[in-house]
Amino acid sequence: FRHAEGNSTAHLKCSYVGPSQTVLIEDGKPILGIWQGVYFCEFDGPRHRRYYIKVMADN
């Protein structure tokens, strides 16, 4: 099955990986496991994209 734009695989990959991520921050650094990292994946590119970071305080 091909999407009209020809980017069906990009849609499938995004649905598998997800469009967002929550990362805990402590003392200005992300709390990650020893083998974990945060990556921006562009499956429908190359394109110019904007990404947003929302910081929420834990009260």
Query: What does the pLDDT look like over 10-36, one tens digit per residue?
Result: 888 888 888 888 899 999 899 999 999
Query: DSSP for 1-59?
Result: ---TTS-HHHHHHHHHH-S-----EETTEE---TT-------SS-S-------------
Whether the CA torsion 28, 33, 34, 37 is positive or negative: it is: negative
Q: Identify the pLDDT of residue 2.
A: 57
- Record the pTM: 0.59
pLDDT of residue 35: 96
